[in-house]
Amino acid sequence: MELNYIEDVRDRHAGEEIWVTGAGASMDDYPIDFFADKICIGMNNVYSVFLDVGDGIEKFQHRIFYSVHEHEQWPLAIAKTVPHLLKNCFFLLPPARRPGMVWWEDFEEHNDVIHYMQWGLVGGLGVSATVEDFGVMVECIMARQGRCHYVVDGTTLHWAVEAAAVLGAKKIYVTGGEAIGGHMQKHGSFYARSHPPSRPDINMPHWRIGTATLARLFKPHGIEIVFYYHDRGEVDPATVTD
């Protein structure tokens, strides 16, 4: 069957601001209405704090919510509990089936609405992009060279940033992307079921540096990427050193 790809909705939000919402503990600082007028892109189970999943807990208000996935666990749950979200989902598609990862045949009844992103397998486990890998991908996106191969350095958040660029964002705010100290706990977060509020053992500097690399590479193309925290506002990714 013919699949839909993210390039099929290129520039859907041309010239707009898009908020990439990670799963960091800093997401708990935002009031429930903060994202009410914003286009948001989450990943993994971040959808649990934006959509009604039947738990009776108030969720973040939002204008539009997209979700990016490579692991099959949460897409399968979405198909069962909030199938209307699938039309706003971007699933990473590897060259061949990989255990525990999304594969298009498992979603045949929904493939008319799902959009895929070609997974550019690089480095260890296929998720260890170098600066050069990021550079090739950014040039593909900005040159509109058909279907690009999307790469990350360890975190789905990078794919979400790249999706925002394809959708035409002129500015991308990255929230909950600190990759240190723990995960979101409020608003019915699924992370609260399995992750304690504080995780001093979590510190993934290469995740932050990868986001900073994307910011540097997209900047010459007129796309601004910043970290954003509710208590201190914008943070220039260029200041991230570790």
Domain map of the chain by residue range? 4-239
Torsion of CA 165, 168, 172, 178, to 10 degrees: -30
Residue range 39-76, pLDDT digits in tens: 999 999 999 999 999 999 999 999 999 999 999 999 99
Q: What is the pLDDT of residue 179?
A: 84
Higher pLDDT, 195 or 106: 106
What's the pLDDT band for 23 if we cut at 50, 70, 90?
Answer: very high
Report the percentage of the chain scoring pLDDT > 90: 85
Backbone angles phi, psi at 131, to 5 degrees: -60, -40
Residue range 123-161, pLDDT digits in tens: 878 999 999 999 999 999 999 978 999 999 999 999 999
Q: CATH for 4-239?
A: 3.90.1480
Q: What is the pLDDT of residue 240?
A: 73
